[in-house]
Amino acid sequence: MITKRMYYATVDGGEQEYLVNLTQETGSCFKMNIDGREYVVDFAMAGNNVYSIIVNGKSLSMEIDENGDIFDVLMDNGDSFSIEVLDEMKRLMKMRHSAGLEGRQVIEAQMPGYIWKILVEKGQEVKAGEPLMILVAMKMENEIKAPKDGIVEDLFIELDQTVATGDRLAVVE
């Protein structure tokens, strides 16, 4: 079965965003299109976080440490970099949260789903990017993160509550 996915990637926190279309051909063989450039990629795990990767016939070895949406890569030649990989929904949520972050921030559901976990309490101090809750939509877990440093002033949701797009979830001030 061929599986296709689309992602957005940035390297080392840079401004340049890359569109990545990934098509799984077989178990470990993928076709990648990165901003219009085609690659055939096959990989095998060679050890703990160590991968043997063949890209367009060229063999590479690298260590990849995953931390959420961030992948820290150490190449066999000593080069290292960090890649943030977001699907379309996470990218949209990040873009919406990065705009206008002064003062009181009302966090709204970006999609319908249900609240699976609540990770903070009213009155709790949070840092920008810290997960506040997990919203499950289309069988995928989506972390709802604090848009800025502040205090959770209000929580409008309860565990297992169903929410619709635009429903208020929390306030961070």
| 150 phi-psi bin (left φ>0, alpha ψ -120 to 50, beta other) | left
pLDDT digits (tens, 9 = 90+) for 111-138: 899 999 999 999 999 998 899 999 998 8
Mean pLDDT of the chain: 90
Interior/surface letters 132-155, b for 16+ CB within 10 angstroms, e for the rest:
bbbbebeeeebbbbbbbebebebb
Longest dimension (CA), the chain: 55
pLDDT at residue number 128: 86
* Distance (Å) of CA 94 to CA 24, 84, 99, 146: 26, 12, 9, 10
Asked if 84 contacts 10 with a C-beta cutoff of 8 angstroms, the reply is: yes
**What's the confidence (pLDDT) of residue 139?**
82
Q: How high is the pLDDT of residue 74?
A: 95
pLDDT at 98: 63
| Structural domains in the chain, sorted by start | 3-86 (3.30.700.30), 99-172 (2.40.50.100)
CA distances 153 to 115, 116, 125, 170, Å, are 18, 20, 9, 8
Q: Name the token pair of 143.
A: 């972390």
Q: What is the pLDDT of residues 30-79, one digit of tens each?
A: 999 999 999 999 999 988 999 999 999 999 999 999 999 999 999 989 99
Confidence of residue 81 (pLDDT cuts 50, 70, 90): very high
* pTM reported for the whole predicted model: 0.55
pLDDT at 1: 60
Check residue 137 and give its pLDDT.
86
